[in-house]
Amino acid sequence: MTAPRPLSVLTIAGSDSGGGAGIQADLKTFAAHGVHGLSAIAALTAQHTRAVTAVHVPPVAFLRAQIDACFEDFDIGAVKLGMLATAEVIDAVADALQAHRPAHVVLDPVMVATSGAKLLADDALEAMRGRLLPLAGIVTPNIPEAELLLGTPIADGDAADRAAAALRALGARAVLLKGGHLEEGDQVIDRYRDDAERSVFAHARMRIDGHGTGCTLASAIAANLCRGLPIAQACARATDYVHAALRAGYRPGHSDVLVLGHLHAGVAA
């Protein structure tokens, strides 16, 4: 008997030569969730746990060819968007999404690496607001990324609540505003908003520097959506998974930065 064809998840993002973030983190997260992972590489980085030392953006025609090839042969249940470095790349990805119309799009608006390296060109911010946010089923910014998207500071929990609502007004159907950069006591509070639900997902704050947490969270959401979970539940389980992956983290490089233990964290049942 032929086994049923599984759904796949496609990541359109940047490659991390250090293996802790980007495409590499995405594929490990997909594997941990039992879904088949596909990739279209939108940027290549020379990167390790301490810094990004160089970025190369392939021609957009080649990026589109990668995306089209995936949709031509696989049943894609969700798409995760990560590092899209230029307005030209963002436009190419938006055109491809409009052509293929995947059921779920998870947008991680990658702008600045954990190390502080800038990963988004100045002309790309407006393209992200105008072209990608309206196509996203959910957008997952951290506090600095939300501040850039909204053009306003977010200094406390009340401001974060307002920011989550404002991000939805830009076009995304749901928002998960990550709280790791906001000091709210001994917990990290992630704020979820859609047109019907307001939730918070709280986890004990770990005073460690983790590499690839944002990539991993968005990929876990996409994998959970591919597995059929409702979006709020997909986000809840994804935040649990990232917390467990941080606890299972390790230090392969010569720095204090943790790489997440993607394959040792376990997946919430």
pLDDT tens per residue, range 187-207: 888 999 998 889 888 888 877
The answer to whether residue 207 is domain-embedded is: yes
What is the residue type of 172?
A
The answer to whether residue 224 is domain-embedded is: yes
The pLDDT tens digits of the residues spanning 120-143 come to 777 788 899 999 999 999 999 999
- Identify the pLDDT of residue 52: 86
Q: What is the pTM of this model?
A: 0.93
Residue 14 pLDDT exceeds 90: yes
- Provide the residue range defining the domain that includes 108: 8-259
H runs (alpha helix) in the chain:
22-32, 60-73, 87-100, 124-127, 143-150, 157-169, 213-226, 231-247
The answer to whether residue 3 is domain-embedded is: no
The answer to whether residue 49 is domain-embedded is: yes
Q: How many domains are contained in the chain?
A: 1
DSSP 53: E
The answer to whether residue 65 is domain-embedded is: yes
Query: Which CATH number covers residue 76?
Result: 3.40.1190.20
The answer to whether residue 179 is domain-embedded is: yes
Mean pLDDT, residues 103-116 taken together: 80
The answer to whether residue 199 is domain-embedded is: yes
The answer to whether residue 121 is domain-embedded is: yes
